[in-house]
Amino acid sequence: MINSHAHLDFDNMNSVAENAVAIVPSIGQQNWIDVQMYPYFAFGIHPWMVESHSQQELDHLEYLIKCNNPVAIGECGLDYIKDIDKETQLHFFNSQLIMAEKYDLPIIIHAVKATEDVIFLLKKYSKLRGEIHGFSGSESQAKQLTSMGFYLGFGMQILNQKSTKIRQIVKNCPLEFILIETDDHHNPNDLQLVAEEIAKLKKIPIDTVTTQCDNNAILLFNLK
């Protein structure tokens, strides 16, 4: 099974199964080097980190993208729950959208209470493809994003029976647009639980879920 979003370089992570495949995103300059230890990594500046980065780091990010082989740009995006200047967030996010289009790379997006603004910006870059990881938007936003060709990432949250909105979105979202992830959950091997829950919600075999979600990740990230 392919884990579409796992912060394996974080200190509190359990070791991942030897045969596991994961996309390892970065959050800023502090782990641009560390993520390169993994076969499939992404370079980006997370919205939580924008105030500790400057234009110089954005320029260095582009240099790294040109000189290495990331499978994506990210994790980047917008987070309106955090007390972080919106204009700064928008500047860094838009800069990374431009890079993704320029270098023909998928983009891994963090969107919290900001999905409408994310959709608005993505419409300006019609050639872009990517994943809204840890999707937390509405049903109508989910439909809008998938109609634009974007994938939605779902993780451990869907195991929570009280997360009725997200569970309903998973149930209704076409499997062809779903990716599975563990994000910063301490045990990346719990990805199996996410796949099992999607199978239960959709009332389809677990093998159907894992095969299609793997194919989605292979297609999006151009995995060999």
Instruction: Tell me the per-residue pLDDT of 94-145, one tens digit each, with 9 for 90 and over.
Output: 999 999 999 999 999 999 999 999 999 999 998 999 999 999 999 999 999 9
| Rg of the chain, C-alpha, whole Å | 16
What local confidence, expressed as pLDDT, does residue 52 receive? 96
What local confidence, expressed as pLDDT, does residue 106 receive? 98
Residues in Cβ contact with 162 at an 8 Å cutoff, skipping those fewer than 6 apart = none
Whole-model pTM? Answer: 0.96
What local confidence, expressed as pLDDT, does residue 42 receive? 98
Pairing of strands 2-3, 21-22: parallel
Distance CA 221, CA 25 (A): 12
What kind of architecture, by CATH, is found in domain 2-221? Answer: Alpha-Beta Barrel (3.20)
Distance CA 93, CA 154 (A): 21
Cβ atoms of 187 and 17 closer than 8 Å? no
Dump the DSSP string for the chain: -EES-B-TTSTTPPPPPTT-EE-EE--SGGGTTGGGGSSSEEE---GGGGGG--HHHHHHHHHHHHHS--SEEEEEEEESSS-S-HHHHHHHHHHHHHHHHHTT--EEEEEES-HHHHHHHHTT-TT--EEEET--S-HHHHHHHHHTT-EEEE-GGGG-TT-HHHHHHHHHS-GGGEEE--BT-S-GGGHHHHHHHHHHHHTS-HHHHHHHHHHHHHHHHT--
Task: Extract the tokens encoding 214.
Answer: 């793997």
Greater confidence, 56 or 12? Answer: 56
